[in-house]
Structure 1
């Protein structure tokens, strides 16, 4: 057999490879009539809402015309590529995914508005009510809402969602999705993948909150943002008088109450309790703005970089040095892809990470539903939040092989060379910047988030120092890992290292930043009947769980403990769970097997 025939045979086998459709226990026991029924926004919670998850009609077409028929039913909010959707079909660039379902409105209350919410729709979508287009949204990771009051009638209405997904064939943000999945890139998914719901609200209502813990001042700053400004009319001026009321509760006991006409309030927090992974102490709030009432919560915590007694820059949490033991968390599920089968599934990942001895999760190139962050807040799990990467095709030599084999090459290349990093599209760069700002504002109130990570391993990286300044202008209360892995631009709060192949060493950063090992390990162990693919992807292969555990424990006991003493501030092990070909998780992809004993560290 010649070389061409060998390659052709290998590609044929790869194309026709049989993959295992794995299910989690939550997917196996999923009640199709009760899919992710919890209120999606725990920090802006109302009592009057309707969850719209469940079976919708769907079709996939190549024509930009609403079809007269439908292919069948899809279980929302699972993407059509997932097993739980009951479709299991890839939506490709150039195709259109149509959703449709009835909206029954028994009554339109006087003075109320009906808001329709989408947690996330990947990637570009149009919303139609009764065949009339009322909203368009671009971006597959962030929520959006639309006021549908003027488009609905009492009785039956029709909601249609029209979706296009360019996946990895454009500059739009895509994370680790790839149409030709394999290795460290995973099955591309599309369409609705977070909860859809609607709620009635007053004419003037709270659209968002901004909650900033001011630890040094023993207070919090609360900004209440309305859907529209208070107008200079007699009716609005009357409404504005004593318009805002805030009650603070400490485990059910009201400890503070204020009534004011200003939307931004500094609220004293005397004798407060710090939030930490060891003591995830939350305070509850009830906020009234006119006729609108929402429930929320907050925590008192502070994160910063300071020099310790020996002059070593370290991460401080609540004014004390705090080493962050982290896990890389991709947020993929074998049966739901981007969508966890249930609230309990999300809780499982967080609790098991804590049980293994970790106090931090690095959410990798994905934005989760707000309920995931809520569980991190209440269970006590620090979060490093990656921005979702985008841009054109990545140069594997530049962003993969060169910095791994020859680390010093990083210092020779600047990220303003857009063509090297797949960032030649100005429109794409501006879109990413807008999404970056929106992500920060979207997740700003979650105390568990302590670090923003705008770029990972140069995937779609550009102008990292300017982006760092932008992030600080939006949020100066958290840390920034401006270029995680390589192509360090000498900014941010960290010297951020990825090291899978070389001996682990500590060297103080000459720019006086804290040093973090933001990815390492990646030890792989294939578990038969619990692995998705016959392919094995990892950075060091182990044939049984005993040898895997021995190697990981040795890594922590001998290397990480030594580096901590020398000055390392955080370490992120790859990774929480297997994902498709990647079998370097501490849990299998279906979460049914933990490959190590607890606690691991």
Structure 2
């Protein structure tokens, strides 16, 4: 048995209490919940030691109920707080107990009380944050003690001088602009939809204190070399000390080394037991800071002996090698979201479950997509045996100089933070040109910063949809170890380039809806949509093509995706991790053609889907509707089924009947339904609600969302048919008469449509009077760029 597990459990037993008084707590409403959510209580919040590669005995977990407040950005520190929040779950999440968004114009404040016990003279108290998204400022007893910018990196503050005996007030101020700032933020957006998801603002990883001596080991850098049977160790510690390291297996020491602090120590590892996916062997490591033979500080760690490289096979094809052997990287695109915790897994068991489930499916690789996980996720990958491709969360799309500077600083810190994990084999610099710039320079920098790993400089620099190129690269993977394309839905190979491994960085995305296990039953989607019964055949064929592409030089593939994520229903398992859409044994059989199964497999619990074709029972349910059944729940479910089976006319009729049963004030769930199903002015019930509820819709979805929906309906109904044939000249008098009954919205649609039509036709004579009225009445509704364009044309006609 690996003694690493014993260390972690021993430390956990010492650190399982918090200073927070337990009060009433209730999870916020959520559309979907995992089985682990019920285990979360204020006294049971991620109690595990958060940093498995540098374990000390004296620590205190601060997770639990804190107070919170949301204020305007220019407000001072609050004196009263709005309520309680369960740290470390993001404020937007159900598990936080709050479930509220944070806007870029606001600050989020946290407050709790901390008592530090048994602090001896000369010792220090360090305050650790696993991660805070995005900018944190920390106060202890009213004194600002430090801060940090970066949503994915842990940070530490020495708070010793700010402490006093007894209770100490800890306050954290957070600013998170999400997609409105210069910060890397992954898939988080303020208005989630499609492939973009709910934000995770504020504290989202464990907060804890640690007691250390005045001089202590700050971090470690471990680099294995299996060809030389050595481990290079660099401990960041003050000068003037000795560093002593001991490697052990099962409690038995196998190797020792000693040297000056700051130097690189070389530890011999005789007959190394190599780390691999099928045999993820880990050595235990003890690192001590010593002076005059006396141990001043000591940390427990671990390492794996493994090597990743690009080499050529017997046919001269560049391939990915693990431990000097070609290994096809069969992977999935894992986004790391949870329906109840968003960025934060409900429990440590849940965190490990995802890796166990992916391994049980027969994959050997996870591409961790545009997110950096807590340290314990990588620890689980290390011990369970899973290769990880780690994406860098991309720079803000604005690509301002500030955004570039932040991206480069955070990328370096990401590498430093994750460097010691044997599971991480590949860094991914850019994805699909999101926030990409200076590719050659940054590729060279990243390769020199960590030459021990493979570099995929641009995953999806070229993108293909249905075989057609939709995004063309600019740098052609310059300097990269890998040429990587994305192809949806069907697989294809990357181009053959000298010395580069050919990778299919994303493919698949087969959408399968599982009723009762959906985040949003109205907006679930995939790149292609099939029934549960059709999925296995389609997925099998895709993998057969992957096998044929491997023979032609492909060395790895990443399927989108292991789990549904919010509205994305591309997962092989549902978002709540309850239903696996293809039996695990079948998935392993399919994948065995590419990755033969060896070693033990995790035993996980997941149910199989109902393979009944939704269309099979739809006709009988439609008969009930025809016979007068008008129960609201029945109508809602039947309308969704109608869409799923392609009965658009039935969906319109049934949804109209359902909306007629609703009455104001409408909930967001009801508005979601109304906006989704109302696709024409002829859908009288839904259209009438939108007409009469524009202020309520705008309050929920943002400025002019209601007007935009209304305008699109009116345009589709009364204007678009006039452009069905290009040679037809629109009858603007007829269009105006048809739009008049809708009042001001109808007038705005008419003037806008006619002005833009005449602008595009360069008919400046007729354009002038129409554009003049449109800009006078509705110009304030336009974007600055659009208003400038139309006004500029108007000004020219008056010269």
What TM-score, normalized to structure 1?
0.88
Counterpart for residue 472 of structure 1:
447
Counterpart for residue 593 of structure 1:
579
Counterpart for residue 511 of structure 1:
498
Q: How much does 1:107 deviate?
A: 4.2
Counterpart for residue 299 of structure 2:
294
Pick the aligned partner of 2:322 from 275, 296, 317. 317
Q: How much does 1:426 deviate?
A: 1.2
Distance in 2 separating the partners of 1:193 and 1:528: 30
SS in 2 for 1:126: strand
Counterpart for residue 256 of structure 1:
255
Q: Note if 1:88 corresponds to 2:99.
A: yes
Q: How many residues end up aligned between the 2 structures?
A: 538
Counterpart for residue 679 of structure 2:
none
Q: Kindly indicate whether the alpha-carbon contact (under 8 Å) linking 2:501 and 2:555 is maintained by their aligned counterparts in 1.
A: yes
Deviations 1:178-227 (A, max 9, x none): 0010000001120000000000001110110000001111101000111x
Q: How much does 1:428 deviate?
A: 1.4
Counterpart for residue 427 of structure 1:
402
Counterpart for residue 61 of structure 2:
51
Bigger CA radius of gyration: 2
Map 1:68-467 onto structure 2 (within 5 A): 68-226=79-237, 229-230=238-239, 237=240, 240=241, 243-262=242-261, 263-290=263-290, 291-392=296-397, 422-423=398-399, 425-467=400-442
Distance in 2 separating the partners of 1:492 and 1:514: 9
Distance in 1 separating the partners of 2:178 and 2:495: 40
Q: Kindly indicate whether the alpha-carbon contact (under 8 Å) linking 1:333 and 1:340 is maintained by their aligned counterparts in 2.
A: yes
Q: Which moved more, 1:383-392 or 1:330-339?
A: 383-392
Map 1:519-538 onto structure 2 (within 5 A): 519-533=506-520, 534-538=522-526
Pick the aligned partner of 2:43 from 25, 33, 36. 33
Relative to structure 1, the CA distance from residue 145 to residue 20 in structure 2 (aligned partners, 3 Å threshold; closer, same or farther) is: closer
Distance in 2 separating the partners of 1:552 and 1:85: 37
Name the structure where strand makes up a greater proportion of residues: 1
SS in 2 for 1:352: helix
Distance in 2 separating the partners of 1:377 and 1:546: 35
Pick the aligned partner of 2:562 from 568, 572, 576. 576
SS in 1 for 2:431: coil
Q: Kindly indicate whether the alpha-carbon contact (under 8 Å) linking 1:508 and 1:567 is maintained by their aligned counterparts in 2.
A: no
Q: How much does 1:245 deviate?
A: 1.6
SS in 2 for 1:294: strand
Q: How much does 1:450 deviate?
A: 0.4
Relative to structure 1, the CA distance from residue 431 to residue 507 in structure 2 (aligned partners, 3 Å threshold; closer, same or farther) is: closer
Q: Which moved more, 1:563-572 or 1:358-367?
A: 563-572
Q: Kindly indicate whether the alpha-carbon contact (under 8 Å) linking 1:91 and 1:189 is maintained by their aligned counterparts in 2.
A: no
Distance in 2 separating the partners of 1:463 and 1:348: 38
SS in 2 for 1:498: strand
Q: Kindly indicate whether the alpha-carbon contact (under 8 Å) linking 1:493 and 1:514 is maintained by their aligned counterparts in 2.
A: yes
Q: How much does 1:346 deviate?
A: 1.2
Deviations 1:41-69 (A, max 9, x none): 11111111101000000011114211221
Deviations 1:349-400 (A, max 9, x none): 11111111000100000000000000000000000000011223xxxxxxxx
Counterpart for residue 406 of structure 1:
none
Q: Kindly indicate whether the alpha-carbon contact (under 8 Å) linking 2:563 and 2:570 is maintained by their aligned counterparts in 1.
A: yes
The CA RMSD measured in Å over matched residues stands at: 1.3
Distance in 1 separating the partners of 2:511 and 2:250: 43
SS in 2 for 1:216: coil
What TM-score, normalized to structure 2?
0.66
Q: How much does 1:541 deviate?
A: 0.3
Q: Note if 1:500 corresponds to 2:510.
A: no
Distance in 2 separating the partners of 1:155 and 1:585: 50
Distance in 2 separating the partners of 1:472 and 1:259: 30
Q: How much does 1:508 deviate?
A: 5.0
Pick the aligned partner of 2:548 from 562, 579, 598. 562
Distance in 2 separating the partners of 1:78 and 1:203: 32
SS in 2 for 1:468: helix
Distance in 1 separating the partners of 2:350 and 2:117: 34
SS in 2 for 1:434: helix
Relative to structure 1, the CA distance from residue 23 to residue 193 in structure 2 (aligned partners, 3 Å threshold; closer, same or farther) is: same
> Any unmatched runs of 5+ in structure 1?
1-18, 231-236, 393-421
Deviations 1:232-273 (A, max 9, x none): xxxxx5xx3xx2221111232211123333542111111111
Relative to structure 1, the CA distance from residue 481 to residue 297 in structure 2 (aligned partners, 3 Å threshold; closer, same or farther) is: same
Distance in 1 separating the partners of 2:491 and 2:79: 61
Counterpart for residue 542 of structure 1:
530
Q: Kindly indicate whether the alpha-carbon contact (under 8 Å) linking 1:81 and 1:88 is maintained by their aligned counterparts in 2.
A: yes
Distance in 2 separating the partners of 1:300 and 1:105: 39
Distance in 2 separating the partners of 1:268 and 1:84: 46
Distance in 2 separating the partners of 1:190 and 1:53: 16
Q: How much does 1:108 deviate?
A: 3.1
Distance in 2 separating the partners of 1:45 and 1:567: 43
Distance in 2 separating the partners of 1:522 and 1:356: 16
Q: Kindly indicate whether the alpha-carbon contact (under 8 Å) linking 1:115 and 1:147 is maintained by their aligned counterparts in 2.
A: yes
Relative to structure 1, the CA distance from residue 266 to residue 259 in structure 2 (aligned partners, 3 Å threshold; closer, same or farther) is: closer
Q: Kindly indicate whether the alpha-carbon contact (under 8 Å) linking 2:43 and 2:64 is maintained by their aligned counterparts in 1.
A: yes
Q: Which moved more, 1:98-107 or 1:274-283?
A: 98-107
SS in 1 for 2:432: coil
Distance in 2 separating the partners of 1:160 and 1:218: 48
Distance in 2 separating the partners of 1:385 and 1:489: 17
Q: Note if 1:490 corresponds to 2:478.
A: yes
Deviations 1:44-101 (A, max 9, x none): 1111110100000001111421122111100000011000000000000111100000
